Amino acid sequence: MPRPDRQDSVWGDVPRPAYGADYNPEQWDTATWKEDVRLMGETGVNLVSLGVFAWSWVEPRPGVFDFAGLDEVIGLLDSAGIAVDLATPTAAPPRWFSHAHPQSLPVTADGLRLAPGSRQAYCPSSPAYRERAALVTRALAERYGEHPAVVMWHINNEYAGGNPHCWCEVSAAAFRTWLRATYGDDLDALNERWGTGVWGMTYSDWSQVEPPRTSTSRLSPGLWLDFYRFCDAEHLACYRAERDIVRAHSPGRPVTTNFMASALRTTDYWRWAPEVDIVSNDHYLGSEDPDRAADLAFAADLTRGLAGGRPWLLMEHSTSAVQWQARNIAKTPGEMARNTLTHLARGADGALFFQWRQSAYGPEKWHSAMLPHGGTDTRIWREAAALGSAVAGLADVARSSCPPAGIALLLDYEAMWALELTDRPSSDLTSGDALRSWHRALWTTGLPCDIVPAPGEHRLLLVPSLYALSGAAARALEEYAARGGHLVIGPFSGVVDPDDRLHPGPYPGVLRDLLGLRVDEYLPLAAGVTVGLDDGSTGGVWAERVVPDAGTEVETRFTGGPASGLPAVLRRGTVRYLATRPDETSLARLLPRWAAEAGCAPAPAGAGGGVEVVRRNGRDGRSWLFAVNHTQAPAEVAATGIDLLSGVSAAGAISIPAGGVAVVEVAAEGSGAAAGPSGAVLS
Ligand code: GAL
């Protein structure tokens, strides 16, 4: 984690809190730019992400650069005091490029070469793409690297969003090169790790190694997992190349690329996070998702985890509806503010929207923006402007950080990829869903948690799902427990190594000693079937026939289903194992009990059931309590201090109206005045 004094130097001149949007002037005429900049001033916009998809605007023909538009726009923004997060436009190669280099277009597993015409139409391994991306990046960095308005760089956009994997011949050759380096040129080692002896699929020459293209039947899981690692590494190499060019020409300006952290897809963001100066994330709600408020907290907690204690930015979210879901439900009045302030509560030092002005044409014209089609006499505009001044009023909160929680949830991307491949005992046993459901259960009870890649100093470490696990990672869990850390490990964990090969001996492989048990048989449940537990809990998806070792306590037994009468929750010292997936209601009862037992602070008074109470602490001993009421009834939260949003002074408690938010400056934790979600870490 960077030293606090370094945090400020990393942020340079980036406004904090930042408030703004993606700005796409290439969609508008010059008169509109002037109006845009004037109106940005009215809404409190202080930072815009500029030029995200503007490659063909700045380089209309190969090698012919036209910066007139960008010069003018950056000049206008500069004169209005609006800072620029300048994007490299490399997420949207121009048509002239795709037509000149058709082999740069991505190919699907079925061998279909995708047509140009949309963004992200490139193969990340394409040398032609990388060369042209470097050229346009260099041209931009040379021209604007020292521009006073350019305070930050935004490389590409949502890497791997539309082109996570490519199966073209160029990728295949790059994959072979990557494998040869990874396996030290030892093809036998690769055969061994991928288990290619099955069905006699052993490679006898490197030239036979292909990406996992559509075939007659199943392919080696080891091949899939290495292909995922390779593709992620290729995108990261593209990012690094552009970042390094920018850094060379634009010293002192932080570089970011916007993550899609909560999408939990094909990017291992634990690898990416140290590569950016400022972690930034995009978050879009499922507009029909009844749990969408909890989803905000999940995205923010995960991004904070990726930032590793550093402040971070919400780079994109929407003012209201998006256009890419089946039914794009508008946000309700106040929801935009709640969404934004939930992120600020959980460590963001700014929030930007996609986008500034709602498009008049093209695929995203029905996506909301800060400035809607209807102009300034609209609800969205009024809310965006009011939010701008609310955010500006939180200037002192920026640079503060969230105290560590007592509870951590472990996320391992590779274990998630492995579990979610085909040919598993149950396709219902997914990893991302489990993580979200455990997080939701905590959120419902008001307990704060961090999301981490590995055991650290938290009192209680929750591991909902960890199918693939190396011996070294298992030892880290053992050491954590030996230090007194409390652990809860979900079913079907520790079964295989990172190449999806069974650990030797009875299940669950490398976790057997730590858990003090063996699993005789895994017993997936039919769709929708649930099983009772003798403490009143309900499990689903999965059961196991577990045989405890001597000294392992059986806390709860199955009362029905294929493991009826057998252990469902077992405990050895500070370590628990669950042989099923408890439903969320059960988790919401069990997790607070286990947290209390681990010595974690209870949920702050008034938190839970849709009311978030989250603390940020400043380095100067100041402290703020964010209370976000996602419910439709007023809520009372324990706090003493001044609400920075309403100016109301609270003595002991503050009432938050339905859908409302308060940010109360309270006495610092430990001073005995205000209750807060104090983090309890292992000592
Ligand atoms: C994001 C993307 C933006 C915009 C937005 C719409 O994934 O980065 O450019 O398309 O979605 O919701």
If you measure from the C-alpha of residue 323 to the centroid of ligand 1, how many angstroms do you get, rounded to a whole number?
10
What is residue 678's predicted lDDT score, i.e. its pLDDT? 40
pLDDT single digits (tens) 282-304: 999 999 999 999 999 999 999 99
pTM: 0.96
Angle (nearest 5°) at CA 126 between 120 and 127: 130
pLDDT tier, 619 (very low <50, low <70, confident <90, very high otherwise)? confident
Task: Report CA Rg, the chain.
Answer: 26
What is residue 681's predicted lDDT score, i.e. its pLDDT? 57
Q: Phi and psi of 89, rounded to 5°?
A: -90, 20
pLDDT tier, 670 (very low <50, low <70, confident <90, very high otherwise)? low
3-class SS of residue 449: strand
pLDDT single digits (tens) 130-166: 999 999 999 999 999 999 999 999 999 999 999 999 9
If you measure from the C-alpha of residue 396 to the centroid of ligand 1, how many angstroms do you get, rounded to a whole number?
30
| Of 390, 385, 275, residue with least CA distance to 344 | 390
Mean pLDDT of 452-476: 98
Rounded to whole angstroms, the Cα distance separating 383 from 233 reads 41
158 lines ligand 1 (CB under 6 A): yes
The residue type at 227:
F
Give Cα 301 to chain centroid, integer Å.
Answer: 8
Which tokens sit at 316?
């994109």
Rounded to whole angstroms, the Cα distance separating 209 from 133 reads 29
pLDDT tier, 668 (very low <50, low <70, confident <90, very high otherwise)? confident
pLDDT single digits (tens) 302-316: 999 999 988 899 999
The torsion region of residue 503 among left (phi > 0), alpha (psi -120 to 50) and beta comes to beta
**Catalytic residue numbers?**
158, 316
Residue nearest to atom 5 of ligand 1 (CA): 354
Distances (CA, A) of 546 to 427, 437, 486, 538: 21, 24, 21, 17
pLDDT tier, 676 (very low <50, low <70, confident <90, very high otherwise)? very low
Its sign, for the CA torsion 422, 424, 426, 432, is: negative
Mutation test of ligand 1: which of 119, 163, 316, 320 has the most ligand atoms closer than 8 Å to its C-beta? 316
What are the E-state strand segments in 179-285? 255-256, 258-259, 280-282
157 lines ligand 1 (CB under 6 A): yes
pLDDT single digits (tens) 192-201: 999 999 999 9
The torsion region of residue 609 among left (phi > 0), alpha (psi -120 to 50) and beta comes to left
17 preceded by a cis bond (ω within 30 of 0): yes
Instruction: Using the CB atoms, write b or e for 134-173: b if 16+ within 10 Å.
Output: bebbbbbbebbbebebbbbbbbbbbbbbebbbbbbebbbe
Q: Phi and psi of 581, rounded to 5°?
A: -105, 100
354 lines ligand 1 (CB under 6 A): yes
If you measure from the C-alpha of residue 357 to the centroid of ligand 1, how many angstroms do you get, rounded to a whole number?
14
Asked if residue 254 lies in contact with residue 85, where contact means CB atoms within 8 angstroms, the answer is no
Distances (CA, A) of 653 to 275, 605, 614, 642, 664: 43, 9, 15, 11, 10
Provide, rounded to the nearest whole percent, the portion of the chain with pLDDT above 70.
Answer: 97
For residue 258, the ligand 1 atom closest to its alpha carbon is: 8
Residue nearest to atom 11 of ligand 1 (CA): 354
pLDDT tier, 577 (very low <50, low <70, confident <90, very high otherwise)? very high
21 lines ligand 1 (CB under 6 A): no
Compute the CA torsion angle 265, 270, 275, 276 (nearest 10 deg): 70
Other C-beta atoms closer than 10 Å to the C-beta of 551 total 8
Which tokens sit at 426?
């149950």
